[in-house]
Amino acid sequence: MPRVSNIECFHRNEQLTIPVITVTAVENLPAPIGERYAGMAEYLEELGELLSDTPYVAYHNMDMQHFDVKIGSPVSKRLPEKRDVRPGSLPEGSIVPCIYRGPYRDMAPVYTEMASRIEEEGLTSAGTVREHYYNRPEYPESKLLTMNVMPVP
């Protein structure tokens, strides 16, 4: 089981984003993520804009048949709405991040360890969990980098 060696709480300012919300069965999840990221990239290219940070997926529930996810990309300024891309933001607040390297399918123990360590520090997880992706799924699974983020009060 992965060991989370360091739990540190950080305050993060609000971060502007261009999110798209979708509901899907968990086994179908890779397709909508890829489609939404492609649509966001096309949208940014049309505007001549760039991402300001790594793309992310926020998980709003754990209903595996109706998985409610927000797929987004951080941007440096508020951008206009177009089709299913709407301006949004990641809220200001305290977070506990953890960098994970490896296959996405093996990430569950990292969340368990993070939650345990957060509790040991006298904190509680509160809000929507996010994953920020530092490379594309085409990379070798052993080299995939993901920042898991748990908000705390």
Task: Scan for tokens 């999840």, then name that residue.
Answer: 29
Nearest CA-CA partner of 11 in 125, 120, 153 = 153
Residue 55, exposed/middle/buried by CB under 10 A (0-12, 13-18, 19+)? Answer: buried
β-partners of residue 40 are none
Superfamily of the domain at 10-152: Regulatory factor, effector binding domain (3.20.80.10)
pLDDT of the chain, 153 residues: tens digit per residue: 555 556 688 899 999 999 988 888 888 877 888 888 888 888 999 999 988 899 999 988 777 788 888 999 999 999 998 888 889 999 999 999 999 999 988 988 888 888 888 888 888 888 889 999 998 878 899 999 999 999 998
For residues 99 and 54, is the Cβ–Cβ distance under 8 A?
Answer: no
Helices (H) and strands (E) in the chain, counts: 2, 8
Delimit the domains of the chain by residue range: 10-152
